[in-house]
Chain A
Amino acid sequence: MKCIVCMTHVPDTASIIKIGADGKHIDETGIKWIVSPYDEYALEEALKLADEGKADEVTVVTYGPQRAEAGLRECLARGAHKAVHIVGGEKTLGDSLAIAKVLAAALKDREYDVILVGVKGVGTDNSQVGQMLAELLDLPHVSNVVKIDWNDGAVAVEREVEGGHEVVESPLPAVLTAQKGLNEPRYAALKGIMAAKRKPVEKIELSALGLDEDTLAGADATYNVRSLELPPEKAAGTIIQGEDDPQAAAAELVKLLHEEAKAF
C-alpha cells in the first residue's frame, strides 16, 4: 500500500498567542512550530502500517511556508519515506477550500491507497480540509476516525459520534481524518533524525500546479478574516477577609454567589 499523510505546521499548543499588527493574523515572533497533533495521529497510523509490512511507502505532504519543511523533516525522522512541500500558504491561511484545492492539485496524479489527514489543524480548528479534499478528488471519506481495520482494498473504520462509536466500511482509496484516540504517536529516534537529513523533500511551486496564491486568496477566496480577538482576560478574584468574623464572611460569600455570580 501507498499512504499519503497531509500535514500542517502549527504553533505549539503551549505557545502564548499574540495578535499581529494587522489584527487579522497572529504575531509569529517567538512562536515555536510543530506538526499539528491530529496529523501526528494520521502519520502514526501510516507508520504502523509500514512497520507491519502492509505499507511500502508513506509520503507526507504539506502546503505551507518555508518553515514548514521542519515539520516534514520531523515526519521523515519518525519514519515517513518521502515528503512533498508545496511552498506557500501564508495568504490562504485558514481558507480550507483553498488549501484543499492545492492539495488536490498536488495529489491527483499520484499513486495512493489512502490519504490520512488530521481531523483538524490545531489553531484554526476548521475541520474541513479532509472532507473537501475527498470531494475534489472524488473519493469516499470517513471523518473522526478512532480505529482502522485494514482489509484488502477496503477499511472498516470506527468513528467517534456523540455518545459512542459508529463502524463504517469504505472502499480504498479513501480519505480518513484522524481523531485523538486513534493511536499514540511515536517519538522520532535519534537515528531517524539523522536518516531524515538524507531523505528527499520534493519542492513544488504553486505555479507548477496551475495555481496562484493571489487568485486563491483574492478572486477565488471563500474565506475572509475580518479580525482576530483574544478572549477577555479573566477578572481578578475577590477575596473576602474572614479571619475576624467568619460568619459575616460566609454570609457575604453566599450573597455574592447569589447576586453577582448567579450561581444559584
Chain B
Amino acid sequence: METSVGEQYEQVRDLVVSFCKKKIAPGAAKRDQSAEFPSGILHEMGELGLFGIFVPEELGGAGMDLMTYLMIIEEIAKVDASIAVTISVTNSVCGWPLLHFGTREQQERYLRPIASGEELGGFMLTEPEAGSDAASLKTRYRDVGDAFILNGTKAWITNAGVAKTFVCMATKDPSLGAHGISAFILDADQEGVIFDKPEEKMGLRSSKTGMVTLDNVRVPKSALLGREGQGFSIALATLDHSRLGIAAQAVGIARGALEEALRYARDRRQFGRPLYDHQAIGFRLAEMDTEIAAARALLQEAARAAMTPRRHSRESARAKLFASEMCNRVVASAIQIHGGYGYSKEYAIERMYRDARVTTVYEGTSEVQKIVISRALKQAAESL
C-alpha cells in the first residue's frame, strides 16, 4: 500500500517480513495441527510494538498510521492467519474503541498495557442467539449505584482465555433495541468472567476463540466506555475500522496462496512441461494475481477514507466483502493447481484453504456487508 505512507513504512515491512520468516513461518504448520497458542512468539511481537501499532507513542503505542497497520496484518497473514487475527483483534476491535471513546484515565489504565505489549485484547459482541443481528443481544447490565452488574453469555470470542481486557456490549433492557446497549471495559480476571474451553475450529486453529459466561460480573462505573446507550454505535464504528484489518488478512492469505501455487506450478511437470506452461494454469495464476491486486486497491481506497473524519462504513464493507470472497476463490484455485497434493496436510495450501474460510464470516458475514452497502446505496438513491 504505497499511498501517503510514512517514511517508516518500508522499514517496518522489512522488520515484519523478516520476523515472519524467522520466527512465525517455521512452526505454523505444527501449531495448526496441535492448535497450540503461540504465547512465546506473541510475547516477542508485543515487545516489538505490534499490539498497539496505531496507538500514539504517548500512550505506549508505536504511533504508526493505518496503512502501516494494514500492511503488517497482511504480511503476518501471508504466513500465519491465526497470529494475524490475534494481533488484529488486539489492535483493532479492542484498541481502537479504547483509543477513540475512552477517557484519558481509561486509556492509561486499559490501553497502555496493551499498546506496550504486555497484554492482548478482545471484543465481546456476538452471543449464541445474536450473530448478524447483533442489536438483539441479551447480555444485561444493571446499575447498582457504585457499579454495573453484567449477566449473560458471549459466543465466538477471539482471544477468550488469553486476553486480559475486552470491550463488551450489554443491554439495559433488550426491548430498547440498539439504544439500550452500552459498552463496558471488562477485565478477564474479574470474578464471574468464565471462559469455556476453546472451540475446535476448522481453521485459524492456533488462535483462541471461545464462549464466555458473565455471571454477576461487577464492573466499576469507571469502566463504562462512552455514554450509556452509546454501545451499539461504538460497536458499529469499531467494525467499520476493524473490517479493514480482516480485508488485509484476506489479502495476505491470498498472497501466500498465490506464492504456494506459483512455486508448485513451476516445479511440477505434467505432459512434459511445468504446470506453469499449460496455458490454463498460467491464466488461472494471472486471474489470482489480478484479483489480489484489485482487492488491495479497494482496501487502500477504504483505508484512505478511514483516514478522514467522515464515516466510511460503505468503503470498509466493500473492501471486506471483496477481499474475503476473493481470498476464498484464490485459495480454491491454489488447491486446484496443487491437484491431489493440495488435499494433503503436507502442503501449506491445505491450511491456507481452511484459514481463508472464516474471512467471509466473521466481523460481519458477506451478507451483512451487502446489507451495509445496499443501505448506503438506498440512502444515496434518495438524493438522485
Contacts and interface: CB of A to CB of B under 8 A. Distances in A.
Interface of A: 70, 73-74, 77, 187-191, 193-194, 197
B49 A187 contact: no
A189 B47 contact: yes
B49 A190 contact: yes
Interface string B42-84: 0000011110010001000111100000000000000000000
B270 interface: no
A190 B62 contact: yes
A73 B11 contact: yes
Given A189-B47, A190-B48, A191-B49, A77 B63 contact: no
Nearest to B51: A190
Contacts of B64: 190, 194
A101 B3 CA distance: 43
Contacts, number: 41
B18 A187 contact: yes
Contact of B62 (A70, A74, A191): A191
Which 7 A-B pairs have CB atoms at the shortest separation, nearest pair first? A190-B49, A190-B62, A189-B48, A189-B49, A193-B8, A191-B49, A194-B63
29 contacts: A73-B11, A187-B15, A187-B18, A187-B48, A188-B11, A188-B48, A189-B47, A189-B48, A189-B49, A190-B12, A190-B15, A190-B49, A190-B53, A190-B62, A190-B64, A191-B49, A191-B57, A191-B61, A191-B63, A193-B8, A193-B11, A193-B12, A193-B15, A193-B62, A194-B57, A194-B62, A194-B63, A194-B64, A197-B7
B237 to A, nearest CB: 25
Given A187-B19, A193-B11, 4 more contacts: A77-B11, A187-B48, A188-B11, A190-B49
B19 A190 contact: no
A181 B49 CA distance: 27
Interface in B174-189: none
**Interface majority SS on A: helix, strand, loop or mixed?**
helix
Contacts of A74: 11
B47 to A, nearest CB: 6
A188 B48 CA distance: 7
Q: By CB atoms of chain B within 10 A, which of A73, A191, A197 has the most?
A: A191
B71 to A, nearest CB: 12
A43 B64 CA distance: 25
Q: By CB atoms of chain A within 10 A, which of B48, B50, B57 has the most?
A: B48
Contacts of A190: 12, 15, 48-50, 53, 62-64
A154 B234 CA distance: 60
A94 to B, nearest CB: 25
B6 to A, nearest CB: 9
A197 B7 CA distance: 9
A190 B69 CA distance: 11
A188 B61 CA distance: 14
A73 B11 CA distance: 9
Contacts of B11: 70, 73-74, 77, 188, 193
A243 B19 CA distance: 46
A88 to B, nearest CB: 24
A74 B15 CA distance: 10
Nearest to B115: A191
A74 to B, nearest CB: 7
Contacts of A194: 8, 57, 62-64
A197 B12 CA distance: 13
A193 B10 CA distance: 11
Nearest to B22: A187
A70 B8 CA distance: 10
Contacts of A73: 11
Nearest to A195: B57
A10 to B, nearest CB: 14
A103 B299 CA distance: 47
Interface string B1-34: 0000001100110010011000000000000000
A54 B50 CA distance: 29
B118 to A, nearest CB: 14
A194 B47 CA distance: 15
A197 B64 CA distance: 13
A79 to B, nearest CB: 13
Contacts of A77: 11
Contacts of B15: 187-188, 190, 193
Contacts of B49: 189-191
Q: By CB atoms of chain A within 10 A, which of B12, B15, B53 has the most?
A: B15
B57 to A, nearest CB: 6
A165 B61 CA distance: 43
Interface string B125-140: 0000000000000000
Contacts of B8: 193-194, 197
A120 B48 CA distance: 28
Contacts of B57: 191, 194
Contacts of B63: 190-191, 194
B72 to A, nearest CB: 9
